[in-house]
Amino acid sequence: MNILLKSAKIIDPNSKFNNEIMDIYIKEGKIDQISKSINYKDKSNAKNSDIEFTAKNLHISPGWFDLHANFGEPGFEHNETLDTGCNAAIKGGFTGVMLMPNNIPSIDNRSMIDFILNKTSNLIVDVLPAGNITQNSIGDSIVEMHDMSEGGCKAFTDDKNSLMRNDVMKVAMLYSIDCNALIMNYPNDESLSKNGVMHEGTTSTRLGLKGIPYMAEEMMVDRDINLLKYTNSRLHLSYISTKDSVKKIKIAKKKGLTITADVALHNLFLTENHINNFDTRYKVLPPLREKEDINALIKALKDNTIDVISSDHTPISDEHKKVEFDNALNGIIGLESAFGLLCKHIAPKIGLSLLIEKISINPRKILQLPQESINIGNKANITLFDPEKEWEFTVDDIKSKSLNTPFIGTKMRGKALGIINKGILKVN
């Protein structure tokens, strides 16, 4: 399949055609030509299977990559499978995802890395499994990092099971140096957040719900930065949610430490006040915070203190969501609605180009993956989108097996039109 994209505005700081409207001809999965006007039918090697794609206000960028996605399989196929998760990614415009190791059995050995890579090898979406830091994600014994790295594992994390033991975290960071792997940690001191179900503040007090204080995150940020300083390794802090965490990360970067961070997209515009009616669809971890935290997070995106915006796509069945708030599981599905929400709430504040960097270029840079810029000769890993298209998010837009989202019926701005990867065009 050869593909011709007509009159597409290129959003890619690594492309010599950045911000230009061009025709792009893709031949056998690679960018063959970029020009003001191309007619593939005039080419001597044109095939009947060639596809010409055009759309109003068509924009393209390097394929978006989600740094935090949960697909369930193996172990939680009733929430999501690898196939349905990738369908959700395609609908949202993502050509690649990193899977969090929240599975049964745990992704704590090379055979599990092999299982996921083999099962997803023929899918259009690039699926990269993160490995657990510790066996069974318990926090005690470190996995065989070298073996898993040789099998293709680029990052290690226990995800929302924050690694509590200082000695284990130190050794993991030291081991990661030899295998050139990234350590990712969600900063959450469980001794301070235990049994908490939302942000600790006036709203939690009024609702009679146990809160999760700022310091549960911030004390762990301090711990991880100190260990990073000691080990001189690479550290990525996941799901940053507080203004003081931002300050600490900014100082660490100024000191030259190799530290990066991300924020979940819902933490950029939703606050604790959305929980006023005990709506479990807004129950997430880290919890929705206050407006001043959102302002600090937006500023941190603009000055590159925070490097990545993730969807934190977390499918959960109704039986674990439509229950009392205390008992409901944390999480929102996010892949399908991500871009519409980001263009509506975030792009006006940080600009479209920077937004694309946060969801495309930076995730791959952090994971040391190839950067497929939109230049002649490069592999075509591309997202097609309209950043201004207004539409309503409905159940029909959800390709996930789960429906745990508060955004059904929400007016969106900006929509993914399709993706190109592995020589295939998939149009939404």
Written as tens digits, the pLDDT of the chain (428 aa) is 899 999 999 999 999 999 999 999 999 999 999 999 998 665 545 555 689 999 999 999 999 999 999 999 999 999 999 999 999 999 999 999 999 999 999 999 999 999 999 999 999 999 999 999 999 999 999 999 999 999 999 999 999 999 999 999 999 999 999 999 999 999 999 999 999 999 999 999 999 999 999 999 999 999 999 999 999 999 999 999 999 999 999 999 999 999 999 999 999 999 999 999 999 999 999 999 999 999 999 999 999 999 999 999 999 999 999 999 999 999 999 999 999 999 999 999 999 999 999 999 999 999 999 998 999 999 999 999 999 999 999 999 999 999 999 999 999 999 999 999 999 999 99
Dihedral angle computed from the Cα positions of residues 329, 331, 332 and 333, in that order, rounded to the nearest 10 degrees: -100
| 246 and 358 housed in the same domain | yes
Model pLDDT for residues 93-111, shown as the tens digit of each residue: 999 999 999 999 999 999 9
Residues 6+ apart with CB under 8 A from 7: 21, 22, 23, 54, 58
How many helices (H) and strands (E) are present in the chain, helices listed first? 13, 18
DSSP state of 328: S
One domain for residues 321 and 412: no
Residue 182 within a domain: yes
Question: Based on the structure, what is the number of domains in the chain?
Answer: 2
User: Which domain-ending residue is among 366, 397, 419?
Assistant: 366
Residues 23 and 101 in one domain: no
Give the domain CATH number at 34.
Answer: 2.30.40.10
pTM of the model: 0.96
- Residue ending a domain, choose from 317, 345, 366: 366
Domain that holds residue 279: 64-366
- Residue pair 289/272 in contact by the 8 Å Cβ criterion: yes
**Residue 260 and residue 338 in one domain:** yes
Both 254 and 334 in one domain: the answer is yes
Distance CA 340, CA 391 (A): 8
CA–CA distance, 199 with 177 (Å, rounded to integer): 35
Residue 76 shares a structural domain with residue 176:
yes
Is 312 among the residues known to form the active site?
yes
Cβ(159)–Cβ(128) under 8 Å?
no
Nearest residue to 183 via CA among 158, 165, 164, 161: 158
| Co-location of 349 and 390 in the same domain | no
Give the integer Cα–Cα distance in Å for 144 and 46: 50
Residues 74, 19 within the same domain: no
The pLDDT score that the predictor gives to residue 201 is 95
Residue 154 sits in the same domain as residue 229: yes
Domain check: are 43 and 164 in the same one?
A: no
Find the catalytic residue in 126, 158, 262, 312.
312
Co-location of 313 and 411 in the same domain: no
In a domain, 409, yes or no: yes
